[in-house]
């Protein structure tokens, strides 16, 4: 069975400052997909991502 790599990501909204800590799957291109779409303040574009 193929084991997917999991990564922990901290997402911070650049508008309201809210922080989210999520686990996601690493894609073949090296990006991490968490399924995160938008912040509570309806921001869907301006974020800072830090991988832990």
pLDDT tens digits, 3-52: 568 899 999 999 999 999 999 998 888 888 999 999 999 999 999 999 87
d(CA 30, CA 43): 25
pTM summary value: 0.79
């Amino acid at each position: 069975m193929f084991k997917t790599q999991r990564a922990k990501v901290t997402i911070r909204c650049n508008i309201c400052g809210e922080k989210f800590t999520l686990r996601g799957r690493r894609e073949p291109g090296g990006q991490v997909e968490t399924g995160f779409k938008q912040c509570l303040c309806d921001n869907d574009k301006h974020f800072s991502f830090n991988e832990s």
